[in-house]
Structure 1
Amino acid sequence: MDVVVRRLGRVDYEPTFQAMQDFTATRTADTPDELWVVEHPPVYTLGQAGKPEHVLRDVGIPLVRIDRGGQVTYHGPGQVVIYLLLDLPRLKIKVRELVSAIEQAVIDLLGELGVVAERRDGAPGVYVGDAKIAALGLRIRNGCSYHGVSLNVDMDLSPFDAINPCGYAGLKVIQTRDLNLPLTAHEAGERLSQHLLQQLEQKHG
């Protein structure tokens, strides 16, 4: 299984979103799958069925409407985002299996570091206790996925206070720094991408 991992560093959200759409629209049966590992400057993104009222107040951070599932979330420096540009039929993976694989990769990464994390029924993402540490949203077009997963590492969490994260009022968010894990966003991106590749290999295998 050949997946190209691109480490794009800190990049603006909107051009990256456009690039994912373009990549997916123009890919062929021979286009290799890719993971894009990024950080973004501060931005809120609102899913296609997202309700604007989940943005509680204007704190000067731009809001971008996008075409993934889910409600509003926040991306900012110190959070690693990995976009999964995958041909699911070729990998023989169903969407639900992909969601499960992404969540498991985060759970395994945190488990390696001694932190117990878990899924929640009906609320995609990964939680430590009652706080969300990783958010997940995908779009599938012609059998190919884009968007992906964000893991809170070492960031300013205060912008989450201005939204109902993922549409849940009062949902707590947490990051690896709060768990005394000495990770940078870059290190977390490297390790999480390896866990994602392992999960995809297992599902594909």
Structure 2
Amino acid sequence: MALTTRFLGIQDYQATWRAMQQFTENRTWDTPDEIWVVEHDPVYTLGLNGKREHLLDTGSIPVVHCDRGGQVTYHGPGQLVVYPLLDMKRSKLGVRPLVTLLEEAMIETLALYRIAANARADAPGVYVDGKKIGSIGIRIRKNCSYHGLSLNNYVDLSPFKGINPCGYSKLEVTRLADLGVNLSNEELASPLVEAITQALSS
């Protein structure tokens, strides 16, 4: 079945979240899967089981308690966010295989720019030299996925100091801009979406 990719630019987090919920609620067996590519205005998001103790000093940045998995993370301009809205049953895809698929797509994309990255069995996401560069948080409803991944491109990393990223104290984060790679989010999105699409069709 066809897969539609939508490039949505900078979007309010809550509005996008509600739109993903509505898309998932209204979709049928015949609804094509979609990938939404966005950036968000500055926001901290706390997952379903997220603990507020991991919010250290959020300042004026809003905190949204949302329905994805995982703990707390930060979204802001310069961070590439990709939301795969997939019919998991139709794709014969489980939750852990989807997480692995998204991790591998980020690793494969980073390799194009000579960045060696890896996943960790104990902490979902993608890391470069122990520093987190890509995060994943998924929600499954009606056998369909929403939410997705974020990849730090040239996003301001200082707001991560206001939280324990993904619930890990003193976890360091990094971005492509600090690794000698300067790209627009549109340039970075192209190979990442291609890697996800290829993996889903294989």
What TM-score bracket applies, with the shorter chain setting the length?
A: over 0.9
Q: Which amino acid letter does the alignment assign opposite residue 127 of structure 2?
A: Y
Q: Which runs of 4+ in 1 moved over 6 A?
A: none
Residue number in structure 2 paired with 1:76: 76
Alignment of 1:1-205 (within 5 A): 1-202=1-202
Which whole-Å CA distance do the structure 1 matches of 2:139 and 2:106 have between them?
A: 19
State the superposition RMSD in angstroms.
0.8
Which whole-Å CA distance do the structure 1 matches of 2:58 and 2:7 have between them?
A: 31
- Asked if the contact 1:47/1:66 (under 8 Å) is kept, the reply is yes
- Asked if the contact 1:83/1:146 (under 8 Å) is kept, the reply is yes
Structure 2 portions without partners, runs of 5+ = none
1:182 Cα deviation from its structure 2 partner: 2.1
Q: Which amino acid letter does the alignment assign opposite residue 132 of structure 1?
A: K
- Asked if the contact 2:106/2:192 (under 8 Å) is kept, the reply is yes
1:62 Cα deviation from its structure 2 partner: 0.2
Which whole-Å CA distance do the structure 2 matches of 1:185 and 1:158 have between them?
A: 19
1:53 Cα deviation from its structure 2 partner: 0.9
TM-score after normalising by structure 1: 0.97
Which whole-Å CA distance do the structure 2 matches of 1:58 and 1:197 have between them?
A: 35
Which whole-Å CA distance do the structure 1 matches of 2:42 and 2:58 have between them?
A: 13
- The residue matched to 1:116 in structure 2 has which SS? coil
What's the % identity of the aligned pairs?
A: 53
1:8 Cα deviation from its structure 2 partner: 0.4
Which whole-Å CA distance do the structure 2 matches of 1:164 and 1:103 have between them?
A: 21
1:58 Cα deviation from its structure 2 partner: 3.0
- Asked if the contact 2:78/2:155 (under 8 Å) is kept, the reply is yes
- Asked if the contact 2:58/2:159 (under 8 Å) is kept, the reply is no
